[in-house]
Every structure is written in structure tokens, then in C-alpha cells.
Amino acid sequence: MGRITGQLTMRLLITADLHYNHPRSHPLAVDLIAQMNQAGGDVLLVVGDTASADGDDLEKCLSLFRFNGPKLFVAGNHELWTRRDDSDRIFTEELPKRIGQLGWHWLQDQPFVAGNVAIVGSIGWYDYSFAQSSLEIPRRFYAAKVSPGAADRLDQHQHLLDNRDDVSARAAGIVARWNDGQFVKLHQTDEEFLARLLDQLSGQLQSLSRFPRQIIAAVHHLPFAQLLPPPHSVQWDFAKAYLGSDQIGRLLVQFPNVTHVYCGHSHYPAEAAIGHLQAINVGSGYRAKKFLTLDVT
């Protein structure tokens, strides 16, 4: 485990969703990093969607941070985006190596401990538990990451409409897709991938089950429905299926020493008290960036 000692108070700087490789987002990310470099603090935490897997934008972005303390990294779904054929290998082999070579701590595999505070991390993922029932979209469309209306327009998804008996007129009129379907190649179901990640996060938490003070969790995807953005368009409501999973939240609340969980992904700032813990979405997006601070003792 990573460790720093000898401090009575630790200031954590937290951000997410820098999207450094996106043209609109790039200058905002550079400006935010400059702000964070001036802010001081003891530990830096980046909670996913820094840059896509292909190319060297990830390295370029993280190298902009001028921070003397520990730097902790959690991947997001965009770190798995690739034009190659194996996002899982990128996630389990390539990314930990790249992050480590930059001098950052890969939280996915190992907690970080600083005195009486521990930080655990996971990409999170989704299982469609946040899908909006009002859209009346059958589950197979969520698994394919296209709505019925979009499937009807795309040759590769026509088979989803072979049996239309369960596709309502409302669902048939919704045209939307989730781009993980094009750029994330896991070669397993979302539910299977999430189960692996939850087992890994559970192992981290159990390894700290006798930890005397405070555990902070960093999970890119949303752990609680209370953090979902409010209703907007049907396209945005379709996307909620991919924003996270209630299984993540159910795991975290089992551990009384988990006091905070930070996430990103939805680009919508939100905060909710869930039992004994505080759940916070950083709220960075393509059009605006932000970072948060947390002082712990």
C-alpha cells in the first residue's frame, strides 16, 4: 500500500472527467490543472476519464500536474476506449504500467494509506440498474448500447428487432446510443465485468476492515441513484443506464469506516448523505471543469 505519515491534517485535491483529448475540453483541462498546481494540498486524486487509451494524451495530461505529494489515479470508461480489440487487457496490463511509469498510484489494484486515512479506488462500471423504466426499453437494447429507434437505423443491430412484441411505440421512437458500445471491447458482459470489479473493491475494503479511522472511496461511475442528473431529454435518460450501479453503493455502505465516496462520469455535480457516508459527484464536464478539496485528520 502507498503510505505517508507524520501529518495531523491531510488536504486531498479531487477532480474527474478532464477529457484531455477532447477538443472542447482540452483547454479547460489545462486551465484546471494550472489552478490545482497553485492550490497546494497533500494528496492528489483523479477519478477517471482523463483521456482515451490510444495515443499519449493520458501521459501528456498527467505530466502537466506539478505536485510534490502522492498522486492517485482511477480509470474511467474513456480510458478503455480504443480502436484496438481488447479493452480488458489495456485495463489490467497496459494502464497500470503507464500510470506507474508516470509516478502515479494505480488505485484499482491497491489502496493508499496515509496515517489513519485510507483511500480505495475502482473504475466502477454499470449493470443497467439505473435504467429508466419510463422509457420502456427492453434490456437487450441496453446490452447492445443502442435504443430501439437507433437499432432500426443501424444494420448491425437489426437483429434486436426480430421480435418487436416487447417494443412499445414509445421505445421505438427513442433514437440514442452509448459510445462505449463502439469503443470499449471487453469480450464479456457489463454485468460480468462489474462483478469482477466489485470483488476487487470488496477485497480492498476487507483488507482495511480493522482500519482504525477513515476510508475514502473513489469510484468513477455513480454508486447511488441519488446522484443521477435530473430528467432531461429521452436521450439523456437513456444514458442513465450507463452511469453506474446500485451494487457499488450497496457494497460501500457495508463498511462503517467509509465516510466519503467521490465519483464523476455524469458531468453533473451532486451530493447525498447515504447512511453513514457522504456521496459526492465532482461535476466536471466538457464545458466546465472543477476540483474539490477534502481535509481529513
From 4-8, 39-43, 141-145, 260-264, the region with the lowest mean pLDDT: 4-8
In 131-229, which ranges are continuous DSSP H helix? 139-144, 148-151, 169-172, 180-183, 190-207
Give the pLDDT of residue 4: 52
Interval 238-246 mean pLDDT: 98
- For 256, residues 6+ apart whose C-beta sits below 8 A from its C-beta are 276
pTM above threshold 0.85: yes
Give percent of the chain with pLDDT exceeding 70: 97
Examine the pLDDT at 3 and tell me if it is beyond 70: no
Instruction: Provide the residue type at 222 as one letter.
Output: L
Give the pLDDT of residue 213: 78
Instruction: Kindly state the cell numbers that stand for 110.
Output: 491497491
Interval 86-102 mean pLDDT: 97
pLDDT tens for 147-165 read: 999 999 999 999 999 989 9
Give the pLDDT of residue 9: 86
pLDDT band at residue 174, thresholds of 50, 70 and 90?
very high
- For 130, residues 6+ apart whose C-beta sits below 8 A from its C-beta are 222, 225, 228, 240, 241, 243, 244, 245, 246
Task: State the average pLDDT for the chain.
Answer: 95
Examine the pLDDT at 51 and tell me if it is beyond 60: yes
Interval 197-224 mean pLDDT: 93
Examine the pLDDT at 115 and tell me if it is beyond 90: no
Using the 8-state DSSP alphabet, how is residue 236 labeled? H
**Domains of the chain, each with CATH number or no CATH:** 2-132+186-296 (3.60.21.10)
* Residue 24 CB burial class (10 angstroms; 0-12, 13-18, ≥19): exposed
Instruction: Kindly state the cell numbers that stand for 210.
Output: 480493522
Examine the pLDDT at 1 and tell me if it is beyond 80: no
